[in-house]
Structure 1
Amino acid sequence: MSLSKLHKPAAFQRPDGYTWDTPPAAFSEWTERPMAAEADDQNTISIYGVIGEDFWTGEGFTAKRMAGALRSIGAKAVTVNVNSPGGDMFEGLAIYNLLREHKAEVTVKVMGIAASAASIIAMAGDKVLMGTGSMLMIHNAWGMVIGNRHDFADAADVFKTFDSSMASIYAERTDIKVDNILSMLDGPTRSSDGTYMTAAEAIEKGFADDTFEPDDSAAQASATVPADLIARRRTEAALAKAGMGRKERFDTLNSLSGPRDATRPAARDAGELTVAQQAAIVAGLTNLGQSASTFIRP
């Protein structure tokens, strides 16, 4: 596949009052996977967090970061390692376009999970490779809009158009008909669940080309991630499963662990909860989320 033939999606206006979130199931899946190790190759770009602004680690992975990395690499072949639950669909589409316009070969390696906006980014690869045990997840555009009925109506139109554009991107790579892709975006319940694919399923359907074996550094990478950040992510995933929105989750965890240390954007002060305390919260909230799910869904 030639880079010049990749689908060029239309530009979209971000709705007023729009805020993004990651699907709870994808977020939970991501938190349970080891963080992939940074590559030594200067022509490799790593996307190992949420797409867009990240409350916990600062900027998250944005189109601005991708543009800077590609400028530094120049017109050379590039490898993009992905382990992300997704995030801001507008940032994801902008990153896809940056990779689509890159002048040399793009290889995407799914290290853990490429969900939501991250799966769109993966489609920009000339080659898409899936690591052992990795997953790909696609779903309808998802987010929240605050405003009056006109704002909601406008947002619904944008989301519908965005879904059609995503379906065209997936259909072009897979040769699956757009209508069938739209059904995959709906998922089995026409909710935000979407469709999850194992490496074998993604390859069979044409979303990916082949598998690869991650090196030993990827298996050991979780040891380099601060334990408190891992626990906080898992706690946040449990809150998301219980139905709590992204901003509310941040405020809740922030109130439990104390204010952000202004000198360290990705860390917290010494007064935060211990890993054991946060693990106990995860267990409790997971049970709460399961109970809520049983109550809400017939």
Structure 2
Amino acid sequence: MSLRKLPEIAAARLPTVCAFEPDADAVERWSPGMMAAVSGETTISILDVIGEDYWTGGGVTSKRVAAALRAIGDQDVVVDINSPGGDFFEGVAIYNALRAHPRKVTVRVIGLAASAASIIAMAGDEIQIGKAGFLMIHNSWVMAIGNRHDLADAARTMEPFDDAMATVYSDRAGATKAKVTEWMDGETWFNGEQAVQEGLADAFLAADAVAEDKTKAEAARGVNATRRIDARLAKTGMPRTERRALLAELKGGTPDAAPPATHDAGALVAALAAASLTIRS
């Protein structure tokens, strides 16, 4: 059990008609090349999207983190995070795994801990963040398909998940759940100083604790543009299989290839969104 006696998050899987997607704004603000300058043998690095990543075959899963914790054993652990978030349920499972670790868990927000990654960050007995780092919290969201009764049922299904997250954030920050709910409703971004001020982090990382792999950052530009397009198309109502088939066709059928004209991803999003509306009409 965590030294802080953190609350557990109980979450069951949603019906298959619902699918969580990464936040497009978080992906846009994410710098994949940010990493810890030094990592030890008891460090777990969460430097990717949360959950299996369709576009690269990577991603950080609860299975991987659980295996790392077993290998570390009964020792203090450091968790380095630089992630735009992703699968809510994988984030919850990782949070609960870290929460159950019997020794001290120190979380270091190297660059970004957004959405599901911010939930994971809350599992730390101590949370450190770079002054140039960010935390982002918001309500969980899904793409639900059906009539008004189905949509109302989806909204009711989401309520306990949002309430569980609000409990965790409020417990960490020492803020009221009403205040935290306002943060979540507004999709609130906290820079390093704000995170410490509001109680979502405990201390600042030293400037020399963070390094940047510029080669990795450049290599990720194309796939990040694809992730952003995928997330924005999801919000138009286009089903996941249709979105990904369209994007794969656009890229010549190669899942991890960079899409053309990634410098103008906004125009591509608009064009694909218009195409989706035409298809659905």
- The TM-score with structure 1 as length reference comes to 0.80
8 Å Cα contact 1:21-1:246 kept in structure 2: no
Inter-partner Cα distance in structure 1 for 2:271 and 2:198: 36
Alignment length (residue pairs):
269
8 Å Cα contact 1:89-1:141 kept in structure 2: yes
Q: Once the two structures are superposed, what CA deviation does each residue of 1:26-81 show, in whole Å capped at 9, x if it has no partner?
A: 12111x55342685422111111111121122252111111111111111111111
Unaligned runs of 5+ in 1: 188-193, 262-266, 290-298
SS in 1 for 2:103: coil
Query: How far did residue 287 of structure 1 move?
Result: 8.1
Q: Give me the CA root mean square deviation.
A: 2.8
Query: How far did residue 89 of structure 1 move?
Result: 1.1
Query: How far did residue 88 of structure 1 move?
Result: 1.2
8 Å Cα contact 2:4-2:125 kept in structure 1: no
Match of 2:246 among 245, 252, 257: 252
Letter in 2 for 1:5: K
Inter-partner Cα distance in structure 1 for 2:97 and 2:196: 24
Inter-partner Cα distance in structure 1 for 2:215 and 2:22: 25
Letter in 1 for 2:221: I
Inter-partner Cα distance in structure 2 for 1:238 and 1:260: 16
1:278 aligns to 2:270 (yes or no) = no
Match in the other structure for 2:279: none
Match in the other structure for 1:195: 188
After TM superposition, the runs of 4+ consecutive aligned structure 1 residues lying more than 6 A away are: 286-289
8 Å Cα contact 2:133-2:192 kept in structure 1: yes
Inter-partner Cα distance in structure 2 for 1:286 and 1:13: 29
8 Å Cα contact 1:15-1:145 kept in structure 2: no
Matches within 5 A, 1:203-214: 203-213=196-206
SS in 2 for 1:28: helix
Match in the other structure for 1:20: 20
Query: How far did residue 279 of structure 1 move?
Result: 3.1
Match in the other structure for 1:29: 29
Matches within 5 A, 1:117-128: 117-128=116-127
Unaligned runs of 5+ in 2: 273-281
Inter-partner Cα distance in structure 1 for 2:113 and 2:266: 26
What fraction of aligned residue pairs are identical, expressed as a percent? 42
8 Å Cα contact 2:32-2:47 kept in structure 1: no
